[in-house]
Structure 1
Amino acid sequence: MPPRFVLPDVSEKNREGKRTARERLAAEREKQKAGERRRRALIVSSTVVCVLALAGVIGTLAANAGNGKADPEGPVRAPSKATGGDSPAIPVGKESARSTLTVWEDFRCPACKSFEDAYRSTIHELTDSGQLKVEYHLATLIDGNMGGSGSLRAANASACAQNAGKFPEYHDVLFQNQPPETSDEFADNGKLIELAGKVDGLDTPTYRKCVEDGTHNSWVAKSNKAFQAGGFQGTPTVLLNGKNIYQDRAMTPAKLKRMIEESDKS
């Protein structure tokens, strides 16, 4: 009996081939769809980034156009009678005073306002009596942490007030009218000039030009650099004759006054 040959099941192979082809086609289509989705997502995200970037540029240009220069680059122009060299300061009080209070402050800093509100009258009393001299160092810590330029502009405006011999008065006005920390109202030179109107004789054409030109911006930047290099924990930092007294939880205006009076007698 001759051997039997079993013919291969051609129809089964055809079905298998067609199924494999369909699967490959489906996979290819899904791959194309995924690529198209990624492409659309990339276009959308890129558009959003561009729009946000453009909005930022427009906002910056508008702010600069309305408020003058905020760029701290340029020649360092110290205000009148500034001291400190590489650690710039504005001195208040008589040079002959035996005690020196070194104060690092930021005009946007809420804790600095709290310090000023609590100690202002005592410090004025002691400087007026000749017992204390104060060295005010200006920092721009909040600008760096929160964004904006209010710390820089307010510090420049206070340096402009120093040129007019009105720094202590304007310094107090700024803290008494400090906006919320998250608000950058001091970035508006118009606001700073408006507040200068609260100090007799300060709002003059010379003063306005100094504020609007950012005359002392680079000097303020130099002061802030000294603050960063000093390794201080934050603002305010208050030193009496080199000793940090702000960290003393038992410190009060009365205790500060007593310490200075005792130093004056020794």
Structure 2
Amino acid sequence: MSEKNRDGKRSARERLAAERAKQNRAEKRRRGLIVGAAVVGVLGLAAVIGVIAAGTGGDDGEASGPVVAPSGAQGEDSLAIPVGEESARSTLTIWEDFRCPACKSFEQAYSPVIHELTDAGQLKVEYHLATIIDGNMGGTGSANAANAAACAQDAGKFVPYHDVLFENQPAETDDAYAQDATLFELAGKVEGLDTQAFRECVEEGTHDGWVEKSNEAFRSGGFSGTPTVLLDGTNIYQDRSMTPAKLKQLVEEANQ
């Protein structure tokens, strides 16, 4: 065989080997991409599951602890804390979260007229407590404050402590109400509330299960957020024309 023919065959083999090497590299890249995509898919699924779990954790439709309603609680499942005369012709139903800035704004504007009407026997208020800010911002301040307010109800001090909690509400991102010490400090602003019984109720989370059940009722009630304020079943907080003066007028007219 001539040297020229041998060189030609060698070149052909080399080209074939190079082509096979190229194909092998491409195959390895393809397999790597498939494996990588599979890993990303698994991690992504795990992340989604984690988000779902975080969003639903502890919300299996049942409170995690015993449901101990505060003294005098009324309504379905004893989830309402009543204020005012039972015989009042108008009922104001209020859903609030002690970490909710909009709830504080509502209280600042409306609490004077609400207190006036309840003291006069013209209005009954049913307070319901929610903990949506804990879910949105993280923390336990909404739940801890709600339990403390229920403890205050046991002591017959719900209204003044409720007002103190909103008057001293921390920034929405500040979970100060998660600290029992903060709740005790504010209880000191209500005459006769900061007792050993109150402190034990707060520390032991006596009404934690009731608070969870109240929040579940809020979530299943189809409400858009807190505060939700209903006057005899009509949502007045969404009425842009509503004012404290108009609320007073509506209640007084109902009592004529």
Please give the TM-score of this superposition, normalised by the length of structure 2: 0.80
Give, in angstroms, the shift of residue 182 of structure 1.
2.1
Alpha-carbon distance in structure 1 between the residues aligned to 2:97 and 2:14: 76
Given that residues 157 and 210 in structure 1 are in contact (C-alpha distance below 8 angstroms), is that contact kept between their aligned partners in structure 2? yes
Q: Determine the structure 2 residue equivalent to 1:196.
A: 187
Give, in angstroms, the shift of residue 23 of structure 1.
6.6
Larger radius of gyration: 1
- Return closer, same or farther for 1:148/1:23 CA change in 2, 3 Å cut-off: farther
1:10 aligns with 2:6: yes
Given that residues 69 and 78 in structure 2 are in contact (C-alpha distance below 8 angstroms), is that contact kept between their aligned partners in structure 1? no
1:166 aligns with 2:157: yes
- Return closer, same or farther for 1:186/1:72 CA change in 2, 3 Å cut-off: farther
Aligned length: 231
1:134 aligns with 2:132: no
Of residues 238, 245, 253, the one that matches 2:236 is 245
Q: Secondary structure at the match of 1:100?
A: strand
Alpha-carbon distance in structure 1 between the residues aligned to 2:210 and 2:23: 65
Unaligned runs of 5+ in 2: 51-61
Unaligned runs of 5+ in 1: 54-70
Alpha-carbon distance in structure 1 between the residues aligned to 2:176 and 2:63: 19
Q: Which amino acid is 2:157 matched to?
A: K
Alpha-carbon distance in structure 2 between the residues aligned to 1:249 and 1:241: 18
Post-superposition CA distance 1:68-106 (Å, at most 9, x none): xxx951110000101113361101112122211110111
Given that residues 84 and 125 in structure 2 are in contact (C-alpha distance below 8 angstroms), is that contact kept between their aligned partners in structure 1? yes
Alpha-carbon distance in structure 2 between the residues aligned to 1:20 and 1:144: 64
- Return closer, same or farther for 1:13/1:136 CA change in 2, 3 Å cut-off: same
Q: Secondary structure at the match of 1:96?
A: coil
Aligned-residue Cα RMSD (Å) equals 2.9
Residue identity over aligned pairs, in percent, reads 64
Given that residues 88 and 219 in structure 1 are in contact (C-alpha distance below 8 angstroms), is that contact kept between their aligned partners in structure 2? yes
Alpha-carbon distance in structure 2 between the residues aligned to 1:262 and 1:213: 45
Q: Which amino acid is 1:242 matched to?
A: G
1:176 aligns with 2:180: no
Given that residues 87 and 223 in structure 1 are in contact (C-alpha distance below 8 angstroms), is that contact kept between their aligned partners in structure 2? no
Of residues 137, 140, 146, the one that matches 1:146 is 137
Q: Determine the structure 1 residue equivalent to 2:196.
A: 205
